[in-house]
């Protein structure tokens, strides 16, 4: 019975596992540069979500800023990051962590100036890195000058720029009677106008009225403004909610047509990309349209927000369902893969404080069909915090820790705007950089494994239906190469067999396990909470 095992020139990892070199070879870097050029660059990129406020403070005020981010670009480049997604950087009273925009064409003063942003763009470009910004289209802050004018009376120039009603509800807005996402009512009384305004989220976030032509035009002009600034695209916040009808507020026909108009603008600039935040949690298919007329990417919450259930239950069903849904996306569509974000628990919590589960989840994210998005600090398994000045999501938005010691742990020389999470010294970049078995070392090796290999970004994917449901296994392949990825969701060793044809015997290039074939039978063995990537060809 043929079996695979040897590591070749790869490094030895924890407990005898195989780990590829922590840095890609010059040949890999050259291939990556070619893949990251042209309109399909985003398929082969590794993205990194940056909460600017919590990443690096440059002036000692305790708040992260754009100059601070610039100072850490070399770290991100060395990690293997190709593109940044910046959480909102526009002026905001911060009632919802910047997702309450007060000016669409300026920079939040706490983060710096437009000149600082332009320097960030220049420095990122010099390193071959791209930058996407968060575009919050559905609503503004109630501090926005547009709303300040609209709320005055029923006859001002912007009276119709927001959604108003004489009562706390309207028959033509089906979701308006179900409460807001963050409260009991989606309607707030404005005494000066003697009317109620609609807010799908916090009361400080009034919804824009896209049935007003001037609003629709203004927001399209805003996309052009930032594209002219050189941004490489947008992450579009809750973009399915722009228009409302009597029966639905989610991706109604008018919203779909408006998204298509944004895509037309984006396509007028070379090599730009858009990623959607779907309102739906288990199927992003509607956000792709025909595959080339809506979003380039959409977040895969079916895996990203529910992978913890699969690991906790030891059953791969949820992961398989997410992969099956993604496999049916239209041609041209790309999954955007996460294991956490600013809206949910830190991945460390979702993994049940289990480092091996954490590694398994990250491995799946980096090898499933799609484009991975790392949430800042995931590469060091940043722990959650306890303070919640705005809401519970603040626990996953604590500052990055760079050094073992010091009150500010390298993030700030002052008092951090939000207290650090658990074990800030142990999960600092300094501490993990010195440990070859750390999560940071694992991430570096994982990203080095991907580097310059087109198969991970655009290759096909097929499940290997092992008879042990505790093991999720799939094959990624293209004309040049083929890999089998296997992850054990259980806390004990597992073995699974399936009837399948593989293009080669394979060898372990990451992790620990065995792969054996006998006729058309394929058997995979993994240690408890173990994982392995087998290179099948060349």
In the structure encoding, which two tokens stand for residue 512, read together? 């620990």
Tell me the CB-side half-sphere exposure of residue 375, using CA atoms within 13 A: 26
Identify the CATH number of the domain in which residue 492 sits.
2.60.40.1180
Give the sign of the dihedral formed by CA 228, CA 231, CA 232, CA 233: negative
Stretch 390-414: mean pLDDT, rounded?
A: 97
Give tens-digit pLDDT for 329-380. Answer: 999 899 999 999 999 999 999 999 999 999 999 999 999 999 999 999 999 9
CB atoms within 10 A of CB 389: 11
pLDDT band (50, 70, 90) for residue 12: very low
Query: Burial level of 300, CB count in 10 A (0-12/13-18/19+)?
Result: buried
How far apart, in Å, are the Cα atoms of 441 and each of 11, 14, 257, 284, 444? 11, 11, 45, 32, 5
Mean pLDDT of the chain: 95
pLDDT at 6 over 60: no
Closest to 289 measured CA to CA, from 324, 333, 245, 236: 333
CB atoms within 10 A of CB 397: 26
pLDDT at 223 over 50: yes
The residue out of 198, 220, 238 marking a domain boundary is: 198
User: Looking at residue 143, what is its pLDDT?
Assistant: 98
Closest to 227 measured CA to CA, from 291, 287, 270: 270
H-helix or E-strand containing 182? Answer: none
* Secondary structure class of 337 (helix, strand, coil): strand
Give domain status of residue 293, yes or no.
no
Give domain status of residue 398, yes or no.
no
Length of the chain: 538
Give domain status of residue 63, yes or no.
no
How many structural domains comprise the chain?
A: 2
Cα diameter, the chain: 82
Give tens-digit pLDDT for 236-246. Answer: 999 999 999 99
How far apart, in Å, are the Cα atoms of 363 and each of 161, 311, 473, 516, 533? 46, 13, 12, 22, 9
For residues 63-86, b (16+ Cβ closer than 10 Å) or e, as one string? bbbbbbbbebbeebeebbbbbbbb
Closest to 42 measured CA to CA, from 459, 482, 455, 372: 372
CB atoms within 10 A of CB 158: 19
User: Looking at residue 1, what is its pLDDT?
Assistant: 33
Identify the CATH number of the domain in which residue 178 sits.
3.90.400.10
pTM: 0.95
Give domain status of residue 511, yes or no.
yes
Cα–Cα dist 7/13, whole Å: 10
CA dihedral angle for residue 434, residue 436, residue 438, residue 443, rounded to 10 degrees: 110
Give domain status of residue 162, yes or no.
yes
Give the sign of the dihedral formed by CA 130, CA 421, CA 92, CA 67: negative
- Which residues touch 317 (CB under 8 Å, ≥6 apart)? 310, 469
Q: Strands 471-477, 273-276: parallel, antiparallel or unpaired by DSSP? A: unpaired
Closest to 231 measured CA to CA, from 77, 374, 126, 121: 121
Q: What radius of gyration, in Å, describes the C-alpha atoms of the chain?
A: 24
Verify cis geometry, omega within 30 degrees of 0, for the bond prior to 538. Answer: yes
Q: What angle in degrees, to the nearest 10, is found between the helix axes of 213-228 and 253-267?
A: 30
Cα–Cα dist 206/209, whole Å: 9
Give domain status of residue 265, yes or no.
no
The residue out of 174, 198, 222 marking a domain boundary is: 198
How far apart, in Å, are the Cα atoms of 217 and each of 135, 213, 258, 399, 518? 15, 6, 10, 37, 63
* Secondary structure class of 191 (helix, strand, coil): coil
Report the percent of the chain where pLDDT is more than 70: 96
CB atoms within 10 A of CB 529: 23
- Which residues touch 95 (CB under 8 Å, ≥6 apart)? 141, 202, 204, 205, 390
H-helix or E-strand containing 416? Answer: none
pLDDT at 177 over 80: no
The residue out of 178, 198, 218 marking a domain boundary is: 198
Q: Which residue has the tokens 């707030």?
A: 188
pLDDT at 174 over 90: no
Cα–Cα dist 494/86, whole Å: 40
Query: Burial level of 303, CB count in 10 A (0-12/13-18/19+)?
Result: buried
Domain that holds residue 468: 456-537
Q: Confirm whether 280 is a catalytic residue.
A: no
Give tens-digit pLDDT for 122-135. Answer: 999 999 999 999 99
Cα–Cα dist 442/20, whole Å: 9
Give domain status of residue 172, yes or no.
yes
Cα–Cα dist 283/305, whole Å: 12
Give tens-digit pLDDT for 51-86. Answer: 999 999 999 999 999 999 999 999 999 999 999 999
Given the residues 116, 142, 237, 356, the one annotated as active site: 237
Stretch 158-166: mean pLDDT, rounded?
A: 98
Residue of 431 and 520 predicted with greater confidence: 431
Closest to 69 measured CA to CA, from 32, 138, 26, 119: 119
H-helix or E-strand containing 415? Answer: none
pLDDT at 5 over 70: no
pLDDT at 253 over 90: yes
Closest to 374 measured CA to CA, from 28, 75, 29, 27: 75
Q: Report yes or no: 467 and 497 within 8 Å, Cβ to Cβ.
A: yes
Q: Which residue has the tokens 């505790």?
A: 470
Given the residues 49, 142, 277, 300, the one annotated as active site: 277
pLDDT at 7 over 50: no
Q: Confirm whether 237 is a catalytic residue.
A: yes
Q: Report yes or no: 369 and 461 within 8 Å, Cβ to Cβ.
A: yes
Give domain status of residue 524, yes or no.
yes
């Amino acid at each position: 019975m043929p079996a695979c095992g040897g590591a070749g020139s790869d490094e030895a990892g924890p407990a005898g596992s195989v780990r590829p070199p922590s840095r890609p070879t010059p040949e890999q870097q050259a291939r990556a540069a070619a893949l990251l050029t042209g309109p399909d660059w985003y398929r082969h990129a590794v993205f990194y979500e940056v909460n600017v406020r919590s990443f690096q403070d440059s002036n000692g005020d305790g708040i992260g800023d754009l100059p601070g981010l610039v100072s850490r670009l070399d770290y991100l480049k060395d990690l293997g990051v190709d593109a940044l997604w910046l959480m909102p950087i526009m002026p905001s009273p911060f009632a919802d962590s910047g997702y309450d925009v007060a000016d669409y064409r300026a920079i939040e003063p706490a983060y710096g100036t437009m000149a600082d942003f332009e320097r960030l763009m220049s420095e990122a470009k010099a390193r071959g890195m791209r930058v996407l910004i968060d575009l919050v289209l559905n609503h503004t802050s109630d501090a926005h000058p547009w709303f300040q004018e609209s709320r005055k009376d029923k006859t001002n120039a912007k009276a119709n720029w927001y959604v108003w009603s004489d009562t706390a509800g309207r028959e033509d807005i089906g979701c308006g009677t179900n409460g807001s996402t963050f409260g009991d009512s989606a309607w707030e009384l404005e005494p000066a106008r003697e009317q109620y305004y609609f807010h799908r989220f916090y009361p400080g976030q009034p919804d824009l009225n896209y049935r007003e032509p001037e609003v629709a035009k203004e927001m399209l002009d805003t996309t052009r403004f930032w594209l002219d600034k050189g941004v490489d695209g947008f992450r579009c916040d809750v973009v399915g909610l722009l228009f409302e009808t009597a029966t639905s507020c989610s991706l109604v026909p008018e919203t779909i047509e408006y998204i298509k108009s944004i895509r037309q603008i984006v396509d007028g600039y070379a090599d730009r990309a858009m990623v959607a935040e779907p309102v739906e949690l288990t199927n992003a298919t509607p956000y792709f349209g025909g595959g080339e007329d809506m979003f380039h990417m959409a977040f895969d919450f079916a895996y990203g927000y529910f992978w913890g259930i699969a690991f906790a239950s030891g059953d791969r069903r949820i992961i398989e369902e997410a992969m099956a849904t993604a496999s049916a996306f239209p041609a041209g569509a790309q999954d955007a893969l996460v294991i956490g974000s600013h809206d949910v628990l830190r991945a460390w919590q979702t993994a049940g404080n289990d480092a091996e589960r954490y590694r398994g989840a990250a491995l799946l994210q980096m090898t499933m069909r799609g484009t991975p998005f790392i949430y800042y600090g995931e590469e060091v398994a940043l722990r959650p915090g306890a303070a919640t000045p705005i809401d519970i999501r603040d626990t996953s938005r604590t500052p990055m820790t760079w050094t073992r010691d010091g009150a500010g742990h390298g993030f700030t020389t002052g008092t951090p705007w939000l207290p650090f999470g658990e074990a800030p010294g142990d999960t600092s970049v300094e501490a993990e950089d010195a440990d070859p078995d750390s999560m940071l070392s694992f991430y570096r090796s994982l990203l080095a494994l991907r580097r310059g290999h087109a198969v991970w970004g655009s290759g096909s994917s097929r499940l290997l239906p092992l008879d042990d449901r505790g093991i999720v296994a799939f094959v990624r392949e293209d004309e040049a190469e083929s890999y089998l990825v296997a992850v054990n969701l259980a806390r004990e060793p597992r073995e699974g067999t399936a009837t399948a044809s593989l293009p080669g015997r394979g060898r372990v290039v990451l992790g620990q396990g065995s792969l054996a074939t006998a006729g058309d039978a394929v058997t995979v063995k993994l240690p408890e909470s173990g994982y392995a990537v087998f290179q099948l060809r060349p």
